[in-house]
């Protein structure tokens, strides 16, 4: 019954530029990681790739 009332989760795709721009605005890796549902380590890897 509950399955018929709930929406299926949607996997959001994002570009590396989205993560970099969010980090440039906030300056907080933890905040960016929460926003994009990724780990802080992944945020760090993305930022290193963009350098």
Query: Tokens 């906030």 map to which residue?
Result: 26
Question: Is 8 inside any structural domain?
Answer: no
Question: Is 40 inside any structural domain?
Answer: yes
What are the pLDDT digits (tens) for 20-51? Answer: 999 999 999 999 999 998 999 999 999 998 76
Query: Which region, left, alpha or beta, applies to residue 27 given φ > 0 means left and ψ of -120 to 50 means alpha?
Result: left
Q: Which residues contact 33 (CB under 8 A, 6 or more apart)?
A: 39, 40, 42, 43
Domain that holds residue 43: 13-49
Query: How many structural domains compose the chain?
Result: 1
Query: Tokens 């963009």 map to which residue?
Result: 50
Question: Is 2 inside any structural domain?
Answer: no
- Does residue 2 register a pLDDT over 70? no
């Amino acid at each position: 019954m509950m399955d018929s009332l709930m929406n299926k989760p949607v996997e959001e795709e994002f570009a590396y530029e989205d993560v970099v721009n969010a980090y440039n605005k906030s300056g907080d890796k933890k905040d960016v990681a929460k926003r994009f549902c990724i780990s802080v380590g992944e945020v760090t890897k993305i930022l290193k790739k963009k350098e």
